[in-house]
Amino acid sequence: MTLTLTWQTILLPILVLAAIVAVIYLCLVLAKLLDTLKKLDPVLTDVKGITAAANDLTQKADKTVNGMSDSVSAVVSNLKANKSLIKNASAVVGAATSIVGVAKAAGKKKETKVTAEVADTKKKGKKTK
């Protein structure tokens, strides 16, 4: 008995077997992918909520910073405009401080003078007795 084999008769069953294995493998991969997607869905929903909250807070912080920047700019421009007024007020405060210092010094001198005179009087009074 003679058996004749051609390349087609050898390769065709091998290719069919490889195709069946590939389809089974793809089915398993798709099943794992569906499980992964089911687990990923709540995570993505949570991320959307967190992103929305962070976006709101970022916008509020941006508005606050812009408002503070505008306020500081306004204060700086007012200070620049009133620079001479501030200098004059500072000079007046400095002069008042100097006058108070001179008055205190004069008061201390009088106090020490009076104390010295009282001490002298007491000494003289003790000697005369």
- Looking at the chain, how many residues does it have? 129
Q: How many domains does the chain have?
A: 2
Residue 103 contacts residue 96 (beta carbons within 8 Å): no
Q: Which domain holds residue 60?
A: 10-81
Task: Mark whether 58 and 15 lie in a shared domain.
Answer: yes
Task: Mark whether 37 and 57 lie in a shared domain.
Answer: yes
In a domain, 55, yes or no: yes
Give pLDDT tens digits for 25-48.
999 999 999 999 999 989 888 888
Task: Mark whether 66 and 99 lie in a shared domain.
Answer: no
What is the rounded average pLDDT for all residues in the chain? 81
Task: Mark whether 40 and 94 lie in a shared domain.
Answer: no
Listed residues 63, 81, 99: the one ending a domain: 81
Give pLDDT tens digits for 98-117.
887 777 777 676 666 656 56
Question: What pTM was estimated for this model as a whole?
Answer: 0.38
Question: How many whole angstroms separate alpha carbon 79 and alpha carbon 85?
Answer: 9
Question: How many whole angstroms separate alpha carbon 6 and alpha carbon 26?
Answer: 31
Q: Which two tokens stand for residue 33?
A: 């992918």
In a domain, 2, yes or no: no
